[in-house]
């Protein structure tokens, strides 16, 4: 009799213990919210427990808002907007509200900037809110991600990489002599196969995003990305700073060949216009900005080249060369009354704007307003 009573009590105690564990695991609905976060990866899995044997219960996607209910080491228990409660195994996949607002502001600014070049990531690349390795990570692009390049900045290079990315560590160790590194503000763009567009340089038109085939970026007056990525998947709505050495520029064939022969590091290029190629078609003519030397230079570019097509010789020729510049991005390209026009700021203590106009194959610098400046300003304001 006594043994039977003890067994019953043991069963009851075991049941109470299991009930307590279950309550502990699923009690967050009554918990105070610790903080609010936003998913910072393409997708993350919610799990029912932190135990070795666990089951997935939901999948969250980039930008989804969650309430953090509990933290256990590197993991966090969260409540999704759907009401589902589960565990994120790595809480670093969440952005806090302040960082999320900063990334949204950066994206809004990036979408107003003129595109300077297109390319793709050479490796897994951390996207940061500010240039430099100390900048907080807001996303991570996979290898081969198509991007538009918008700005360049330099930041101090640490003596040893303090970063979770093995690629960034090895990149820093390759050249300890560099005291500063180049960083690029980039935005993810649709894949070339989904972004076919005419590459003509037409004022007020959005730029085509096709690049991997060698076609150039066309240049409206501001070459804006606004609207060009709005219809793509959620990953298109991401902009941030990436180490410049992680980006491979997708140069058009003529630009690539001429730059290689001239030992020119291209930082921006544009299609100025198209001319008859002598065979019933047409050929683009290019403006190229570049520099020579390593990273950390104060000037975004120091050289300008204009490549024009010779229908008679069936080849590209260098129609304009200018060196010893200290130019700052962005370069803005438009089509004026007399032909293609472009402008940029020359760096220095008193920055001045340099303006150029191209007529047929002749390029010259002009002083004062370019034809149509007043009309462009009226549209801008």
User: At 380, is the pLDDT very low, low, confident or very high (cuts 50, 70, 90)?
Assistant: very low
Q: Evaluate if residue 377 carries a pLDDT over 70.
A: no
Q: What is the pLDDT of residues 45-66, one digit of tens each?
A: 999 888 889 999 899 988 899 9
Taking the domains of the chain in order of start, what are their residue ranges?
27-95, 111-380
Mean pLDDT is lowest, of 144-153, 194-203, 301-310, 319-328, for 194-203
Residue scoring higher pLDDT (234 or 92): 92
Q: State yes or no: pLDDT of 28 exceeds 70.
A: no
What's the burial of 157, exposed, middle or buried (CB within 10 Å: 0-12/13-18/19+)? Answer: buried
H or E element in which residue 152 lies: strand 146-156
Q: Is 352 exposed, middle or buried (0-12, 13-18, 19+ CB in 10 A)?
A: exposed
Q: Which is more confidently placed, 202 or 117?
A: 117
pLDDT digits (tens, 9 = 90+) for 182-199: 999 999 987 554 333 333
- The CATH topology of domain 27-95 is SH3 type barrels. (2.30.30)
Cβ burial 109-128 (10 Å sphere, 16+ → b, else e): ebbebbbbbbbbbebebbbb
Which residues contact residue 31 at a Cβ distance below 8 angstroms, ignoring those fewer than 6 apart? 69, 70
Q: For 79-119, write each residue's pLDDT tens digit.
A: 998 889 989 888 888 999 999 999 999 999 999 999 999 99
CB contact at 8 A, 264 and 305: yes
pLDDT at 328: 94
Q: Please name every residue paired with 36 in a beta bridge, in sequence order, or none if there are none.
A: 67
Confidence of residue 217 (pLDDT cuts 50, 70, 90): very low
Q: Rounded mean pLDDT of the chain?
A: 78
CB-based contact 58:77 (threshold 8 Å): no
The helix (H) or strand (E) run that includes residue 2 is helix 2-26
């Amino acid at each position: 009799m006594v043994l039977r009573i003890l067994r019953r009590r043991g069963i009851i105690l075991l049941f109470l213990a299991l009930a307590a564990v279950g309550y502990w695991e699923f009690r967050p609905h009554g918990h105070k919210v610790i903080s609010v976060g936003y998913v910072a990866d393409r997708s993350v899995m919610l799990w029912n427990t932190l135990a070795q044997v666990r089951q997935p219960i939901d999948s969250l996607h980039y930008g989804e808002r969650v309430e953090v209910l509990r933290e256990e080491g590197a993991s966090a228990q969260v409540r999704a907007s759907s009401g589902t409660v589960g565990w994120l195994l790595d809480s670093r996949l969440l952005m806090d509200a302040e960082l999320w607002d900063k990334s949204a502001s950066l994206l809004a600014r990036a979408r107003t900037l003129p595109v300077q070049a297109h390319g793709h990531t050479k490796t897994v690349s951390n996207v940061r809110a500010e240039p430099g390795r100390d900048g907080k990570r807001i996303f991570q692009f996979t290898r081969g991600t198509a991007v538009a390049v918008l700005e360049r900045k330099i930041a101090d290079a640490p003596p040893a990489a303090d970063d979770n990315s093995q690629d960034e560590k090895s990149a820093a160790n390759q050249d300890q002599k560099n005291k500063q590194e180049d960083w690029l503000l980039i935005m993810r763009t649709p894949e070339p196969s989904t972004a076919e567009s005419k590459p003509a340089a037409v004022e007020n038109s959005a730029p085509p995003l096709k690049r991997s085939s060698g076609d150039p970026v066309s240049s409206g007056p501001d070459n804006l990305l606004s609207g060009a990525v709005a219809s793509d998947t959620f990953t298109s709505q991401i902009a941030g700073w990436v180490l410049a050495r992680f980006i491979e520029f997708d140069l058009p064939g003529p630009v690539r060949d001429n730059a290689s022969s001239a030992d020119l590091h291209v930082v921006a290029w544009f299609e100025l216009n198209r001319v008859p190629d002598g065979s019933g078609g047409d050929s683009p003519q290019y403006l190229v900005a570049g520099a020579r030397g390593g990273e950390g230079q104060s000037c975004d570019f120091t050289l300008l080249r204009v490549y024009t097509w010779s229908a008679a010789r069936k080849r590209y020729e260098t129609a304009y060369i200018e060196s010893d510049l200290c130019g700052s991005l962005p370069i803005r390209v438009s089509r004026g009354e007399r032909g293609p026009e472009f402008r940029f700021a020359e760096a220095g203590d008193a920055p001045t704007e340099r303006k150029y106009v191209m007529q047929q194959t002749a390029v010259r610098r002009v002083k004062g307003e370019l034809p149509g400046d007043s009309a462009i300003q009226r549209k801008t304001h």
